[in-house]
Amino acid sequence: MKKTTTLLADGRELIYYDSADAVVRDSVDQRPLERVATTSEIRHDRLLGDTVAIASHRQGRTYHPPADQCPLCPSRPGRPSEIPAADYEVAVFENRFPSLAGTRGRCEVVCFTSDHDASFAGLTPAGARLVLDAWTDRTRELSQLPGVVQVYPFENRGEEIGVTLGHPHGQIYAYPFTTPRTDRMLRSLTAHRGRTGRNLFDDVLADEIADGSRIVLTGDHWTAFVPYAAHWPYEVHLYPNRRVPDLLGLDEDARAEFPHLYLELLRRFDRIFGEGQPPTPYVSGWHQAPFTGDGLTVPGFPAPDRRDFALHLELFTIRRTSGKLKFLAGSESGMSAFVNDVPPESAALRLREVASS
């Protein structure tokens, strides 16, 4: 992998990732852009104990532009974009409308391909591997920024999820705090260790493998399953069989196998609801251990070693059946008490039924 770092016209960082060392990236952003002004603010909810980012500047972000004005496509004569090059494989740049900014974290956009009409599921294994390498490199770099506690690479796919740009892309949030979901995992991890002396993530994976009814697919180095208490209609967790705390910990064998299993998962998601259905909307994200001691501290509990945390990917869709979405209504939105209409065992069975032939 070759990495080329440059700056956009307003000073934001842009990084190209290429599979060939001979590629030269010397295009310059000629747009007359002013420096981005952000209003990101971090506020603490004293009742719930969690953190909220206030980012009013995001109200003006680009919203469903025509395909010929997509800011994530390569630049063309007379139509400059966020990517000055005429073509690219994978490109990452600082978000022009970040939820987190400055000393309050960082947000980046990850363009998976220059093809506007493609999808992650349509990438080749080599293309998916390049994205994995880019996620890993950005995790390494972002974790070293002052104040960054946790790094979360993720993809939102589909207008139903809230995506405002159709080009295949994801994001990376570098949080200046431990996210509420990870905080709850750390609490459960610590409590389980206190009760049993064992690692919770190891036990969850071992129990799913032993039960078998919710396993979706397996490899030599990865296991994908629908969790026992899945919150979403179709939800899959993908774990490396050898526990590591973050993407940096994956060995070459796991990295080499990942593209094949992940691409198969995404393609199955698009087949869940039968032929002729629109692409399945989904959220897919990497859960990694916090990188600082403060991020691992849970009040009232001894801090676990970050190596006790298990890197894993969580993939889910809000579509519950053909033409119907899972809306977060009173119980879910108001009380964070989920009700799932699809039994996890049925979801796993369906995901096995739509395996590639």
pLDDT digits (tens, 9 = 90+) for 143-155: 999 999 999 999 9
What are the boundaries of each domain within the chain? 2-175, 180-353
Q: How far apart are alpha carbons 354 and 290 in whole angstroms?
A: 35
Q: Name the amino acid, one letter, at 86.
A: A
Q: Are 273 and 319 in contact (CB under 8 A)?
A: yes
Higher pLDDT, 235 or 159: 235
Q: Which residues contact 300 (CB under 8 A, 6 or more apart)?
A: none
CATH code: domain 180-353 is 3.30.428.10
| pLDDT at position 216 | 98
* Confidence check: pLDDT of 60 > 60: no
Beta 51-54 vs 41-44: how paired, if at all? antiparallel
- Our CA angle for 100, 187, 250, nearest 5°, is 65
Confidence of residue 100 (pLDDT cuts 50, 70, 90): confident
Q: How far apart are alpha carbons 36 and 12 in whole angstroms?
A: 8
pLDDT tens by residue, 25-54: 999 999 999 887 777 788 888 998 888 888
| pLDDT at position 199 | 96
Asked whether the domain spanning 180-353 has the same topology as the one spanning 2-175, the reply is: yes
* Confidence check: pLDDT of 297 > 80: no
Q: Which of 64, 116, 167, 169 is catalytic?
A: 169
Confidence of residue 298 (pLDDT cuts 50, 70, 90): low
Confidence of residue 294 (pLDDT cuts 50, 70, 90): low
| pLDDT at position 203 | 98
CATH superfamily, with its number, for domain 2-175: HIT-like (3.30.428.10)
Active site residue 169: yes
pLDDT tens by residue, 309-331: 999 999 999 999 988 889 888 89
Higher pLDDT, 104 or 187: 187
Q: Are 90 and 110 in contact (CB under 8 A)?
A: yes
316, with CB counted inside 10 A (0-12, 13-18, 19+), is: buried
